[in-house]
A and B are shown apart, each in its own frame.
Chain A
């Protein structure tokens, strides 16, 4: 098995030739840099916090350092370093801040940031200076001598005056470079272990429990989706087909009935009624789970929802195929938003924009209505936020009184395919053929 940390790599015979010494150096060097920056920021913030409220920025700097450190950990630790923070249950800055202040992970990150800014970064620097700087200086002895011509003071202490001496020093440097790689990697490994202990989720049992809860909520949503589709299919393959057959029979019967007679009248009424039931059933089935969502994906499904809207909607949608649960949540979010616009906003125009960039699906639904949409007032928006939360998604509503309203849905998810059929690229791809 390939080593996953410097400590594991140390015992391998190929260690000096592997990438691990360099990874370790990169890790410690960037650590020193980050620590120096953090130190400067802390000093500045410290000065300001005497005058102003300095706590929120201090808190934020801890969060930022924690985030950077978890990413940096990948240099020397191939195991994933998950984020220990929870996702806020409600949208908005206030809820986020409350959650973060209450979390142990936040304060551990803050403590680590302090430690980094005061103690760790000089240590990092020292180890890099000794482990890499010293051998490199020794290695460069012949060059120094050549530049000076007469003599060179290698490492500020040892005077060399001849080339044999200089090359001797260089040889020593090469040996040291290899030899010091070991303690260097050991220190890097220790630093990484410290970061992992402080900044990644601890208390495996508790985390596991939360993971389990989230997983079961996700399963519940999946089960709900599956049930939706089953109902849709049952209605589609059963009731709807029978109704179509019924209207067909009634249509044929009307052709046979003597025109103008009472029978033709009754049949016409029955036929029209059956047609209305069929229309209602079609709308109902569509509301349960639109087939176009399964066949074409979220982009065309949103365009379809825009078609049905009472308020004129301009769409700018370009999406790849996404996981089923995400497409479904995105679709119903878009529908809910459009329905609210139709019911409450008094808007004359609406727009839908949807993109999938950097692993995040982002849908924005805007209108020019009177605004003041309150997420707490309706069950629709709250339900939507809950549903998105299961997928780690968020719902943001900007709706000042007087409008305009903008509703934004963001769901992190991978794309399943390249661009699929959606309203705009379809035009582009087919226009050349005409």
Chain B
């Protein structure tokens, strides 16, 4: 899909001042505008209501309870406005978080990234743009962990198909997957067709079967 080069209006929720300032600087440097930067979940909800941003970037753990307030707020925001892209930054590789997030709304325009990824500046900006464009991004580290484990619903898949599904979960397009695996795009399309068939996701009205496949993968 074509990448937006547009300027994104971002609401940022991060309780660590150091990181918040760093992220504001980083985003500003690449032409994005942080319209509000808040330090807790309530502030996040208010800022979204006040600014109507293009995308929300939020930490998982925030005051007051320092548990998963940020994630809960993101899920609540998605329930209210399913079209609002949300990118969650987490200190933990945790598929429960990713699955909860993808479950909110229709699973498009959401991302779950490890905080470490912020340091890989280009990777991070790339993920941000893909989520803003309605893509689905799950951190490669989560995907890697899931691939290591044997899971029943995915037993029917060949190793190659699992690999492709992993890359789909990371949010790559068929073209990007084809380049990574050094195969043709048609081959990737065929693999994905097989995956959808094996996971019993028939081509009915064909909205977000890729997302459903990723969800199956996360829950398995």
Contact = CB atoms under 8 A, between A and B. Distances in A.
B68 to A, nearest CB: 4
Interface in B187-201: none
A304 B71 CA distance: 18
Given A286-B92, A304-B94, A295 B99 contact: no
Contact of A304 (B61, B68, B95, B212): B95
Classify chain B: how many residues form its interface, as a range.
35 or more
Size band of the A side of the interface? 35 or more
Given A248-B26, A249-B22, A279 B116 contact: yes
Interface in A262-315: 271, 274-275, 278-279, 282, 285-286, 290-292, 294-296, 300, 303-304, 306-310, 312-314
A351 B95 CA distance: 19
A434 interface: yes
Nearest to B150: A312
B156 interface: no
A275 B103 contact: no
B18 interface: yes
Nearest to B102: A430
A255 B120 CA distance: 10
A23 interface: no
A244 B16 CA distance: 11
Nearest to A237: B16
B7 to A, nearest CB: 19
Contact of B66 (A233, A245, A254, A282): A233
A161 to B, nearest CB: 82
Contacts of B22: 245, 248-249
B119 interface: yes
A419 B219 CA distance: 17
Given A244-B118, A295-B67, A307 B219 contact: no
A307 B95 contact: yes
Interface stretch (A71-79, A112-120, A420-428): A420-428
Nearest to B25: A252
A242 interface: yes
A306 B99 contact: no
B116 A308 contact: no
A370 interface: no
Interface in B131-152: 145-146, 148-152
Nearest to B99: A426
Contacts of B19: 241, 244-245, 248
A381 B16 CA distance: 39
A430 B94 contact: no
Contacts of A303: 95-96
Contacts of B149: 306-307, 309, 312-313
A310 B26 CA distance: 37
A236 interface: yes
Given A240-B91, A307-B149, A314-B150, A252 B29 contact: yes
| Residue among A240, A244, A275, A349 with most chain B CB within 10 A | A244
B contacts with A: majority SS: helix
Query: Most chain-B CB neighbours within 10 Å: which of A294, A300, A423, A434?
Result: A434
A251 interface: yes
B38 to A, nearest CB: 16
A134 interface: no
A275 B114 CA distance: 12
B121 interface: yes
Nearest to A297: B96
Contacts of A427: 219
Q: Looking at A233, A242, A290, A427, which has the most chain B CB atoms within 10 Å of its CB?
A: A427
A271 B117 CA distance: 12
Contacts of A49: none
A241 B16 contact: yes
Most buried by A among B67, B97, B115: B115
B103 A430 contact: yes
A248 B116 CA distance: 8
A247 interface: yes
A398 interface: no
Given A236-B61, A286-B92, A426-B219, A278 B18 contact: no
Given A286-B92, A291-B67, A427-B219, A278 B116 contact: yes
Contact of A244 (B67, B119, B215): B119
A107 B113 CA distance: 63
Contacts of B121: 248, 251-252, 254-255
Contacts of B67: 291, 294-295
A313 B16 CA distance: 36
Contacts of A304: 94-96
A250 interface: yes
B146 A307 contact: yes
Nearest to A256: B29
Given A286-B92, A300-B94, A434-B215, 18 more contacts: A237-B16, A244-B119, A248-B22, A251-B120, A254-B121, A275-B116, A282-B114, A291-B94, A295-B68, A300-B96, A304-B95, A304-B96, A310-B148, A314-B151, A349-B150, A421-B96, A427-B219, A430-B103
21 contacts: A236-B61, A237-B16, A242-B18, A245-B18, A248-B118, A251-B120, A251-B121, A275-B120, A279-B116, A282-B91, A291-B68, A292-B92, A295-B96, A304-B96, A307-B95, A312-B150, A314-B151, A349-B150, A430-B103, A430-B215, A434-B215
Interface of A: 233, 236-237, 240-242, 244-252, 254-255, 271, 274-275, 278-279, 282, 285-286, 290-292, 294-296, 300, 303-304, 306-310, 312-314, 349, 421, 423, 426-427, 430, 433-434
